[in-house]
Structure 1
Amino acid sequence: MKQFDEELAPDACLVTQLLRAQFPQLADHDVRPSQASGSSNFVFRVGEEWAVRLPRTDGYTADLLTEARWLPHLAPHLTVPVPEVLFLARPSGLFPRPWSIVRWIPGEPPERLDRGAQARLATSLGRFMRQLHRLDACDLDLDPHQWGYRAGEPVTEVIDRWADTAAEGLRDLFDPRQVKEAWRRLRRVPPASGPPCWIHTDLSSENLLVSGDGNLLGVLDFGGLSIGDRSVDLLYAWSMFDQEAREVVRRKAEADEATWLRARAWAFVGPGLLTIHDYRDCMPARTATLTAMVQAVAAEVGVSLR
C-alpha cells in the first residue's frame, strides 16, 4: 500500500481510496475538493449530502475527536444545524490521522451583509448562543486547563504579553502607545457573571453558514468546543456587525454588561491583534477584517489606534 506523503495535500483519488478501505458505502459517489477547506482540515464533498474532513496536521486531530465525541450529545438540543458525524475513521497507511465523514450543510459564509441581513444574522446567531449556553454542563470537568485558553479568562499575564508583542510588531499599522493604552482600558473587566457553560469558542464568519437574506443555516467547526465563560462566543460581534446589529446579538444572547465587557476584551488581543501580527502576510482578507475590528473595539474606549 502506498504511504501518505505529508508534503502533499490529499486529493480526490486518495479520499476515494480511504472510503473504499473503511466506508465503502460512499466510495462510488463523486468526490471533489470543497472550497470550505480551512486552516484545520482538508474538506472534500462526497456526492451532494456528505463531506470528508481530514486534519491538516497532528495538532488538529484533537479538534476532530472533540466534535465526534460531543456533537451527537449537543445537536438534538440545538435548532440550528451543526455537523452530523456519520463515521470516524481510523489512521492508516493511506492517511496517518483519524478523519471523519459528516453531513453537508448548505449555505454560504456571511459576507458584505446589508443592515437587514446583519440584523437577521444577529438575531439567529444570538438565539443559537443562548441555546448552546443553556445546555447542561454540570457533570463535566470545569478546569480551563482541560479545555484550552479560551475557556479561561480574557485578561491574563500571557494575554498581556501578547498585547505588548503585537503592539511593537504592528507599529507600521498602529501607534504602539495607543494600542497599549487601549488595552489598559479594555483589560479592566469584571468577573464572569454566570457559571461555566458550553462554549463554541470560534464563532467567526468562517464558521457560520447563512442564507441570502442573512438567516443562520448552520454552525461549523466545533473543534474548540469547551466549558467556560460564554463571553468568548460574543467576541466576533465586533468583526461581523455594525453597532446596531451588535446590540441585537447582545440582546438575543442575553449577554449582561459583565459578559459584554469581557467579550470586548477577548476581541482585542487574541483573535484581533495577535492574529493580525501572525497572519497578515498570508491572510490579507482576514487581516483587513480584524484590523477594522480592533479599531472599532478601541474606539469604544475612546482610543484611536493610528
Structure 2
Amino acid sequence: MSEFVPTPTAEVCIDSALVASLLREQHPDLAQLPLGERHEGWDNVTWRLGGDLAVRLPRRAIASTMVATELAWLPRIGKDWPFRAPLPVRIGSPNEAYPWRWSVVPWISGHTAYDEPLSALGAHDLGLALAALHQSAPADAPVNPFRSTPLSQRVDRAKARLTALASQAASHPSTGGARLDTDAAESLLRRGARRHAPGLVCAHLDIHGGNVITDGGRLAGIIDWGDAGAGDAATDLGQAYVLLGPTRWRTMITAYGRANRDTISRAKAEAVACAVTLATITDGRYAASGWDALVSLGVATREA
C-alpha cells in the first residue's frame, strides 16, 4: 500500500444527535450539559460537554480496540501524574445506534502544539511529564504491536519509508525544498538500534503536535493514549525531538533528568523513525514537522 495516506474515513456518523441520545440513555445526569466544539482525529471524535468535560467516541473499528487502553489502563497509571490527561470519568456502552464503547473525560483547554508550539518553559514541562510517565511497566501492561517492539525490529519499515521519501522531488510542497540523505539517516537508525533499552517503561508512544495541548506555550495536557503501552523511554523522547526541535529538546532532556548517552542515541534514532513516518502523511502539519526534524537531525538538507 502507499506510504502516503490521507486521514482514514470515519466508519460511523457521529453527530450531535447521536451524542445527545447516548448521554440521555446512559448518563442522564450529564445530558442537560450543552455540547460545544467538535474535534475529529484519525481515530476518535471528541465533543466538548459543558465547561469541564468532553465525550470521546471511536470513529473506526480499529480505534475501538485501542479504547481498552484508555479506559482500563490509563486510570491505573495516571492518577498521580503532574500533568493533565483524559482519564475517563464515565464509560459508555455500545447500543443499537452506536457500536463501540465510549467515554466522558475531562476537557483540556488549550491549543494543539501544531497551532501553539511549546515554549522553553513548555519543553521543561514536557520533560517533567515524561519523567513521571516513564515508570517501570508492570507485567500486564498493554503491548503496542508496532511501537512497543525494539527499534531493531522496526528498522526495515523505517528504511522503506526513507526510500519512499527519497523519491519525492525537492519541490514537493511537504518537503519545504528538503533533500534526504538516506545513507546518513540509515546510519543514525542503525546506531540507535544497536543499543538496547535497559527495561520497558509506561510510555505514550504517539507524541506529536496533535496530541500535546499547550496554553500560552506551557504544557496543558497530553491526549490520545490509544497507542500507549510498555515501551522504550527513547521512543517518547525521540518523538518529542520531532515535536520540539534540537534546542527545546535539550531543555526537555535536562528536565527529564535521566537520559544517558545510550538513551540519547536511541532517541535520535527513534526521532528519525518518527520523522519519516510523519513526513509520509499527506496532512501538511505532520509532513512539515517530519521534514523539519530530518533537517535538524542532519539527515536532510535544504537549499538556502
TM-score bin (small chain)? 0.7 to 0.9
The alpha carbon displacement at 1:147 in A equals: 2.9
Q: Does the Cα contact within 8 Å between 2:246 and 2:296 map onto a contact in 1? A: no
Normalising by structure 2, we get a TM-score of 0.84
SS of corresponding position for 2:167: coil
SS of corresponding position for 2:227: coil
Q: Does the Cα contact within 8 Å between 2:179 and 2:301 map onto a contact in 1? A: no
SS of corresponding position for 1:221: coil
Q: Does the Cα contact within 8 Å between 1:164 and 1:180 map onto a contact in 2? A: no
The alpha carbon displacement at 1:161 in A equals: 4.0
The alpha carbon displacement at 1:57 in A equals: 0.7
SS of corresponding position for 1:88: strand
CA RMSD in angstroms comes to: 2.5
Partner of 1:292: 292
Q: Does the Cα contact within 8 Å between 2:180 and 2:301 map onto a contact in 1? A: no
Partner of 1:261: 265
- Partners of 1:58 and 1:112 lie apart in 2 by 29
Structure 2 counterparts to residues 1-306 of structure 1, below 5 A: 9-35=13-39, 37-111=40-114, 118-134=119-135, 136-140=136-140, 146-156=143-153, 158-173=154-169, 178-189=181-192, 190-212=194-216, 214-253=217-256, 254-269=258-273, 271-277=274-280, 279-280=281-282, 283-299=283-299, 304=301
- Partners of 2:234 and 2:49 lie apart in 1 by 36
Q: Does the Cα contact within 8 Å between 1:11 and 1:33 map onto a contact in 2? A: no
Change (3 A) 1:187 1:305: farther
Could you list the runs of 5+ residues in structure 1 that have no partner in the other structure?
A: 1-5
The alpha carbon displacement at 1:85 in A equals: 0.6
Q: Does the Cα contact within 8 Å between 1:148 and 1:226 map onto a contact in 2? A: no
Moved more, 158-167 or 68-77: 158-167
The alpha carbon displacement at 1:263 in A equals: 1.5
- Partners of 1:230 and 1:195 lie apart in 2 by 9
Q: What percent of counterpart residues are identical?
A: 25
Letter in 2 for 1:106: S
Change (3 A) 1:218 1:21: same
- Partners of 2:127 and 2:163 lie apart in 1 by 32
Q: Does the Cα contact within 8 Å between 1:68 and 1:85 map onto a contact in 2? A: yes
Change (3 A) 1:91 1:65: same
SS of corresponding position for 2:296: helix
The alpha carbon displacement at 1:113 in A equals: 6.0
Moved over 6 A (4+): none
The alpha carbon displacement at 1:305 in A equals: 7.7
Once the two structures are superposed, residues 213-239 of structure 1 have per-residue CA deviations (whole angstroms, 9 ceiling, x without a partner) of x22121111111111210011123333
The structure with the greater share of residues assigned to helix is 1
Change (3 A) 1:177 1:74: closer
- Partners of 1:242 and 1:181 lie apart in 2 by 18
Once the two structures are superposed, residues 145-181 of structure 1 have per-residue CA deviations (whole angstroms, 9 ceiling, x without a partner) of x43221121233x532442344245412469882244
Change (3 A) 1:245 1:275: closer
Letter in 1 for 2:144: W
- Partners of 1:238 and 1:202 lie apart in 2 by 12
- Partners of 1:185 and 1:166 lie apart in 2 by 12
Could you list the runs of 5+ residues in structure 2 that have no partner in the other structure?
A: 1-9, 171-177
- Partners of 1:147 and 1:108 lie apart in 2 by 27
Moved more, 174-183 or 232-241: 174-183
SS of corresponding position for 2:202: strand
- Partners of 2:159 and 2:234 lie apart in 1 by 19
The alpha carbon displacement at 1:8 in A equals: 5.4
Partner of 1:3: none
